[in-house]
Amino acid sequence: MNAIWKAAGAAAWGAVSFGGLLPVLDQERRQKIEDLCPNPGGVFVAAFSYFAGRSPGNLALYARGEDYHRVLLRRLEGVCASLKARYPDHCFLPGADNSPIPEQGAAVLAGLGEKGQHNLLLVPPYGSYLFLGTILTDLPLETSVGRIETACSHCGACGRACPTGALSEHGLEASRCLSHLSQKKGELSPWEAKAQQRSPLIWGCDLCQAACPCNRHARETELPEFRENLLHALSAEEIKDLTNRQWKERYGDRAFSWRGPSVLRRNIALLEERTQEDDD
């Protein structure tokens, strides 16, 4: 099994039985899982590293390579094919942000890593620069006996780095998170617009991860989809006259493309407005 996941490029993987998953499932999620896979036996969960260094740019690091949904599903489908060949009487359903499985909760239960104070999964030596994917199956699984390395010291660096107060000892307040605000459609409230205007990024946010000591020496990814053909920044000139169709043709393989060009245009305009104010 290790060879299958290594061939898929997983930084870490594990499994959790369906019974073991129940503590992180509400009734709605459980019902959706059982609708997808009657008599579920458990879930495989894997982490894929995307960190390719800290080059300057105005896009979050996770969004600079190929859309991770496409990458993970492609790689997970390869794993499913190998598992199907080994267990032909069972089903294997891949998921990456598109299934009712709580990926982070499953990853912790499967022993991949631990949840950091910044609300992200930490898997040494990759830090938190990770995408999670799952495979739901009716094959009876045993929960991995993994050794979770203690990584987060709850030093508070991530909370201090967050300019909007989204992180506190009580957890994450998603509505205040810059990553959330940068993706929000429509007109922003005055407070939201000011927060986005002060952000160095027009899509996403890396501030809490950059401040985390566990990411100081994060191992870089070996996956070509996240190392090659990177797009570090977008300018107003590049996207100002694009139709939605042209946008999809040019950027449809990027993780930020799903919101369309209007949100990015708004965020670029806010950043340019701040730059002008600073110059004045």
End-to-end Cα spacing for the chain: 61
Distance CA 191, CA 176 (A): 10
For residue 262, give every residue at least 6 positions away whose Cβ sits within 8 Å of its Cβ, in sequence order, or none: 185
Q: What are phi and psi of 44, to 5 degrees?
A: -85, 140
Given 35, 67, 89, 97, the catalytic residue: 97
CA 17 to chain centre: 23
40 upstream amide cis, omega within 30 of 0: no
The pair phi, psi for residue 131, each rounded to 5°, is: -110, 145
∠ at Cα 121 (120, 125), nearest 5°? 120
Longest dimension (CA), the chain: 69
Is-catalytic flag, 206? no
Asked if 101 and 22 touch (Cβ cutoff 8 Å), the reply is no
CA distances from 137 to 69, 88, 117, 122 (A): 20, 12, 31, 25
Q: What are phi and psi of 56, to 5 degrees?
A: -60, 155
Active site residues: 97
